[in-house]
Amino acid sequence: MSAPHEHTVQLRWSDPDMLGHVNHARALALIEDARLAMGDRGGGLILARLEVDYLRQLRYRAGERLPVRSWLTRIGTKSLTMRQELLQDDEVAIRLDAVLVVFDVATGTSRPLTDEERAFWGRYLAGARPPMG
């Protein structure tokens, strides 16, 4: 099983709501930062589907940096399915599954992954859950 990609995101002063929780849309932007850090490699990936589970409150703490783990659960002909988890206090606060489609901007249509792209993304392919530890 491949290791998940790990990326640390910085909470920003504009992230919390009036109750001191990180706004749900702002949290998705943090997770997107981690997804982009994995590297698109010029492949023109576009987001086709996003399923999000908010598992616990995400509290704003000035200057706090949070880990995001990302890995692939599926590599298809023209798409990838990615699982991401944003953690706070060593617990998963948000878990999402994203379907990313390889998109050809010139034709405005999806296209198959190249062998090079398949090899690049294959290093993040794992089971439904990375090893804990």
DSSP 9-51: EE--TTSB-TTSBBPHHHHHHHHHHHHHHH--TT--EEEEEEE
Cα separation, 66 vs 51, whole angstroms: 21
Residue 53 domain-assigned (yes or no): yes
Residue 32 · residue 70 · CB < 8 Å? no
Residue 131 domain-assigned (yes or no): no
User: Domain total for the chain?
Assistant: 1
Residue 46 domain-assigned (yes or no): yes
Q: How confident is the model at residue 128 (pLDDT cuts 50, 70, 90)?
A: very low
Residue 93 domain-assigned (yes or no): yes
Residue 47 tokens read as 């987001």
Q: 115 lies in which domain range?
A: 5-122
**pLDDT digit string, tens, across residues 8-62:** 999 888 887 888 888 889 999 999 999 999 886 656 899 999 999 999 999 999 8
Residue 133 domain-assigned (yes or no): no
Cα separation, 79 vs 101, whole angstroms: 4
User: Which CATH number does the domain housing residue 76 bear?
Assistant: 3.10.129.10
pTM of the complete model beyond 0.85 = yes
Cα separation, 57 vs 2, whole angstroms: 29
